[in-house]
Structure 1
Amino acid sequence: MISNEEIKQRQAQLDSEEIIFEWEAIYPAIIGKNSKLARFCLGALPMLIVGILYTWFVVLKEAYITLIPMYVGLTLACYFVYFLQLSDNKCCYQLTQKGVITYTQQNIPESVYRFFRGFAWFGMGICVVAAVVVGPAVFVGAGAFALMSFAFRDFKPKVDKRNYLFWGEVKIYDIYDEHNIMFVSSAPINCGDTKLFYNNEDTKNIIINNLYMILKQPDFLRVKTSNDAYNDEFMQKMFKSYREQNPIK
């Protein structure tokens, strides 16, 4: 059985390997046939429902002056949910002779980071002025706002770097409906993490050709969705191996 320490050592060695092919891809936070509908239901639909209900309440109470700040708040909330929670992901892949290095981050415009950093410094300034004018007691009611402002003052993108090995027997899945290629090796790794996304067929063909040269005619299966790949016998075997070596504690 392969030890976790040996796997980590070989993963670290990937950083010094020569890069054979490098590419970038944008893929959605929610993958699948109904991903756009799911993103709408999770992001815009709740805000739309709240807006309709509040408008109905305002009409009944004739408090029309509150509509504008409410709509502005809902728009900002929708903006926040979409860009920070449901945004697309940007991934850079580096294919080497012994594995793949991935760098993943949310595909959020820099303007969003600047907005929240500016909002944070503005909020901290407001808290300082309030503390001078009113005194420390102001933080009893505005403590949460002050903490939030402090947390966002250095808001910037976070990059998730991971190294995946070609080890022993390897099988490649061309998941054409989801625009990704998944490889699974006999090393006990989490199979669901080894998806190599692409944005066009030319890139896909280059990736597959390079994988064939590196792995010397690996086992290959073309499937429609990830579920088809997960139900494959080889994949189930590798999942079982991973669970045995990484039991849930």
Structure 2
Amino acid sequence: MTNRENIDSIKKRLYEAEVVHYWEHKGWGGKYEYLWRWGVAIFVNYSIFILLWLALDGFTVGRPFFWVVLSFMTMMMLITRYLFTPDKHRCYHLTPLGIHYTENDMIPDVAYQVVRGFAWVGIVVCIIAVFVLGPLAFVGAGGFALMSFGMTNFKPTTEKHEVFFSDRPILFNPMNDSVLRIDSNIPTEYCSSRNFYFSSLEEKDAVVSLIKKN
């Protein structure tokens, strides 16, 4: 049996093993991780707004264009935060052999529909551009059309992850933080290191106790 087949066999047993504890987590994880995600979204979008404010003489509070740009940048800030760096929904299953879990982006279904709609509009615009401008349109429209085609099937996905317990898995349990990291090395030369997130310190302590018990 090859190493890959051995790992697949262990993975199969992991998913078939009895679940001794189940928990969910919504968000990103860690105590302050969400802060830098908000920080990136705000900085990227409002820095452009501030540059326009400093560079354009007529870009003042009394002009409608000012409020149009501000509204647009606010919308882009929210899109950056919730669409490009979305929160995660994780469902964990603790078994005597290890932990397996699923991970989904917490993006509303309407967002996927809007993106798919914009993708089809983009394809139509590219086709019109080709007829109006001729072959030269492929220089710019070609790349956008390829991107649009890829986005027409934009839909939620579920990722599966697992960590197998070795004889002595190493637990990194930081104090006053609802995150737990497990490093494991099984005889098939498979090494894994994953972070697990909890809604409370009490829930994390209960899982750590169960892992030590098993």
Q: TM-score with structure 2 length normalisation?
A: 0.79
Give the Cα separation in 1 of the matches to 2:161 and 2:176.
Answer: 25
Q: Offset of 1:138 from its aligned partner? A: 3.1
Q: Over aligned residues, Cα RMSD in angstroms?
A: 3.0
Give the Cα separation in 2 of the matches to 1:52 and 1:196.
Answer: 39
Return 5+ residue gaps in structure 1 as ranges. 216-249
Identity %: 24
Taking structure 1 as reference, are residues 123 and 55 closer, same or farther at Cα in structure 2, changes over 3 Å only? Answer: same
* Matched residue type, 1:200: S
Q: Offset of 1:140 from its aligned partner? A: 3.0
Matches within 5 A, 1:78-227: 78-187=77-186, 188-191=190-193, 193=194, 195-213=195-213, 215=214
Given that 2:28 and 2:87 are in contact with CA atoms closer than 8 Å, whether structure 1 keeps it comes out as yes
Taking structure 1 as reference, are residues 79 and 149 closer, same or farther at Cα in structure 2, changes over 3 Å only? Answer: farther
Return 5+ residue gaps in structure 2 as ranges. none
Between 6-15 and 113-122, report the one with greater CA deviation: 6-15
Given that 1:58 and 1:67 are in contact with CA atoms closer than 8 Å, whether structure 2 keeps it comes out as no
Given that 1:11 and 1:164 are in contact with CA atoms closer than 8 Å, whether structure 2 keeps it comes out as no
Given that 1:102 and 1:162 are in contact with CA atoms closer than 8 Å, whether structure 2 keeps it comes out as yes
1:46 match: 44
SS of residue matched to 2:176: helix
CA offsets per residue over residues 24-53 of structure 1, 9 Å max, x none? Answer: 102427x454x3442233210232221112
Given that 2:53 and 2:59 are in contact with CA atoms closer than 8 Å, whether structure 1 keeps it comes out as no
Between 78-87 and 45-54, report the one with greater CA deviation: 78-87
Taking structure 1 as reference, are residues 68 and 136 closer, same or farther at Cα in structure 2, changes over 3 Å only? Answer: farther
Q: Offset of 1:184 from its aligned partner? A: 3.0
Given that 1:12 and 1:163 are in contact with CA atoms closer than 8 Å, whether structure 2 keeps it comes out as no
Aligned residue pairs, count:
208
* Matched residue type, 1:94: H
Higher relative contact order (CA 8 A, sep 6+): 2
Q: Offset of 1:23 from its aligned partner? A: 1.7
Give the Cα separation in 2 of the matches to 1:10 and 1:38.
Answer: 37
Between 133-142 and 99-108, report the one with greater CA deviation: 133-142
Give the Cα separation in 1 of the matches to 2:25 and 2:105.
Answer: 12
* Matched residue type, 1:142: A
Give the Cα separation in 1 of the matches to 2:27 and 2:176.
Answer: 13
